[in-house]
Amino acid sequence: MILDGKAVAQKVLGEVGAGVERLRAETGVTPTLAVVLVGDFAPSKVYVTAKLKAGASVGIATRDHLFPAGLTQAELRALLASLNADRAVHGILLQLPLVPGCDEDEAIRAIAPEKDVDGLHPQNLGQLLAGAPTVVPCTPAGCMEILDHYGAKLEGKEAVVVGRSRLVGKPLAQLLLARHATVTMCHTRTRDLAEHTRRADVLCVAAGRARMITGAMVKEGAWVIDVGVNRLETGKLAGDVDFQSVESRAEAITPVPGGVGPMTVAMLLKNTLAAARRQLTK
């Protein structure tokens, strides 16, 4: 079964659009997302354009704050402080990675937790760890949405997450744990990666290494979520999973493109609507 992230994202976007309409009718306010991009890293520009476009498609107002690479940490801090104080802005998305010389941790901490629609502020990540309601980082939230949409059974299953980044691997492992999967996290110091991946009923890969997971590394009947986005020399996109050799072994698999990618944007807008609702109704 191909897990069609594009279709699931469309469903989520439809729900967000309806939610935006409802909130506007109740409060007269349009949820507003500020997108901040520093520098001209080409993939980041593509992601920002996609986020702005998708926001407009569901009626979320967007403001772009695009700066050259020379923006100083102090200037970035001042911008974030002004967006925090602006009651018309409900969500702030700081496109990562920041340019070299900018302190990413400091910048993330400078975003008001209630406007942190990426869910990366330590307060929100801490809430996730505590099992309390919080803003869930968009990509892991998208992975869970796909699994749920297609009815994946998680309780008691062996889940293996390859990659331990703050953005994807760690929060995803936490979400799987919260759903009572038995979770193993792998990374570059993992001694025998295949030994772990072959045990996985649910295998989630977010390593950023094109096609590193091959059919021989996957259990027959596994559900495979491929988060990786890698640009090949040919210019084509490839995931971290070798789709061709894994497809025949897996029961279900996300393609790249058209899997997790569209979900990330949809979950960002879902988080933005939820943030606006919390701020307007508190």
Provide the token pair at 49: 């354009």
At 211, the amino acid letter reads R
Binding mask 122-151 for ligand NAP (x = CB under 6 A): -----------------x------------
Considering the complex, what minimum distance in angstroms separates the CB of residue 195 from ligand NAP?
12
Provide the token pair at 203: 């295998």
Q: Is 51 a catalytic residue?
A: yes
Q: How many residues lie near ligand NAP (CB under 6 A)?
A: 26
Q: Is 95 a catalytic residue?
A: yes
Nearest to 95 by CA among 43, 170, 145: 43
Note whether 169 binds ligand NAP by CB under 6 A: yes
Helix 169-178 and helix 138-149, axial crossing angle in degrees, nearest 10: 40
d(C-alpha 258, C-alpha 39), whole Å: 27
Cis peptide before 68 (omega within 30 of 0): no
Query: Which of 21-29, 30-38, 202-210, 267-275 is the region at the interface with ligand NAP (rule: CB under 6 A)?
Result: 202-210
Binding mask 38-67 for ligand NAP (x = CB under 6 A): ------------------------------
d(C-alpha 184, C-alpha 218), whole Å: 15
Using DSSP bridges, classify how beta strands 237-238 and 230-231 pair: parallel, antiparallel or unpaired: antiparallel
Considering only 161, 168, 238, 252, the residue that binds ligand NAP (CB under 6 A) is: 168
Provide the token pair at 281: 């109704």
Considering the complex, what minimum distance in angstroms separates the CB of residue 226 from ligand NAP?
9
Is 109 buried (19+), middle (13-18) or exposed (0-12) by CB count in 10 A?
middle
Phi first, then psi: what are they for 249, rounded to 5°?
-95, -30
Residues of this chain, 81-100, that bind ligand NAP according to CB under 6 A:
none
Binding mask 210-249 for ligand NAP (x = CB under 6 A): --x--------------xxxx-------------------
Task: State the catalytic residue, choosing from 116, 118, 226, 242.
Answer: 118
Note whether 190 binds ligand NAP by CB under 6 A: yes
Q: Which residues bind ligand NAP (CB under 6 A)?
A: 139, 162-165, 167-169, 186-190, 193, 206-209, 212, 227-230, 260-261, 264
Q: What residues are labeled active site?
A: 51, 95, 118
